[in-house]
Structure 1
Amino acid sequence: MSSNTASADTPTCLTLIGPSNFQIWKLRIMAKLWRETVLGVALGTDTCPITSLSIPGTTTTVPRNERAHRIIQDSISDALLLKTEMHTTAKDLFDALLSIHQASSLASAFYIFQQ
């Protein structure tokens, strides 16, 4: 349940393994992306012209899309990572994960409703 991008004072993010933990993962990853000031990049709502972030305590500057993409990749299972490797932007990756899991959540709900 750890994340490579978490600092000592930042809570770690849950690893998405599938539909069973999708809803809680979605809430936690959105909170983490917001704390890291890259949520808008993943949602496609970021209109800020700043394209990179400085990492506190270092002289490193990381492009915002790359940072958001890494955070998301660090919070998904290896199987999902392989399944979504072709998505190279944070928004595309986040949208793909939403699409995969919201579709399976709807299918499960429909199945339960028919019972």
Structure 2
Amino acid sequence: MKKLFILIFTLCFGLTMHAQNTQTDAERERENKMLEAFLPTLDARRSEFVGQPAKKLFDVIRGSAFKIRNIGTEETSPWAEYKGKMWVYGLSLYNKPAQQAMKDKEVYIIRIILDVR
């Protein structure tokens, strides 16, 4: 009886945790609308961040609906560079992990071009 009770409790707990992590269609649609409103305003404010520390931009992003779930680098092509070297010149911020973005076939990306190599 004790094992049965523990099994039922574990099953209920697992279902509850899974339900909290699953996003409904309404929540996903609301998040997409907030992102679609935020991204054009961020693009319009682009000149505010030029020459400023990256922390200023990341603080704005952190306070928005855009949740950084994956980061990639912007790199030069090894064929265009001297001796085939590649250089990182920017970042790409994604609102979904790569696996989920491939499955959903939709993702929002913020590309940040840095003035460094």
Larger radius of gyration: 2
Higher relative contact order (CA 8 A, sep 6+): 1
Per the normalisation by structure 2, the TM-score is 0.30
Per the normalisation by structure 1, the TM-score is 0.31
